[in-house]
Amino acid sequence: MADAAPSPGVRSGAVERVYTGLRKLLIEGAYPPGTHLREESLASQLGVSRTPVREAIRKLATEGWLDIIQNQGAFVRRWSRADIEEVLSLRAMLESHAARHAARHATVGQIAEMKAICSRALSLLPCEDPQAIAEVAALNSRFHKLILDASGQRRTAAIIANLVELPITLRYFKQLEPDDMERSIREHRALVEAFETRDPHWAAALMEAHVHGGKSLFLGRVTSLGEDDMTAEEPAGDVGSNTNSGN
What stretches of the chain adopt beta strand conformation (E)?
36-37, 66-69, 73-76
Residue 9 has pLDDT above 90, yes or no: no
- What confidence tens digit (pLDDT) does each residue in 115-156 have? 999 999 999 998 888 888 889 988 998 999 999 999 999 999
- Distance, CA of 172 to CA of 79 (rounded, Å): 13
10 Å CB burial of residue 238 (0-12, 13-18, 19+) is: middle
Q: Given pLDDT bands bounded at 50, 70 and 90, which one contains residue 244? A: very low
Q: Given pLDDT bands bounded at 50, 70 and 90, which one contains residue 76? A: very high
Q: 36 forms bridges with which residues in the sheet?
A: 75, 238
10 Å CB burial of residue 204 (0-12, 13-18, 19+) is: buried
- What confidence tens digit (pLDDT) does each residue in 159-190 have? 988 776 666 665 666 667 888 889 999 999 99
Give the DSSP H or E segment for 206: helix 200-224
Mean pLDDT (the chain) is: 84
pLDDT score recorded for residue 245: 36
**pTM listed for this prediction:** 0.74
- What confidence tens digit (pLDDT) does each residue in 220-240 have? 876 654 455 555 555 455 654
Q: Which domains, and CATH codes, for the chain?
A: 10-76 (1.10.10.10), 81-224 (1.20.120.530)
Q: Given pLDDT bands bounded at 50, 70 and 90, which one contains residue 11? A: low
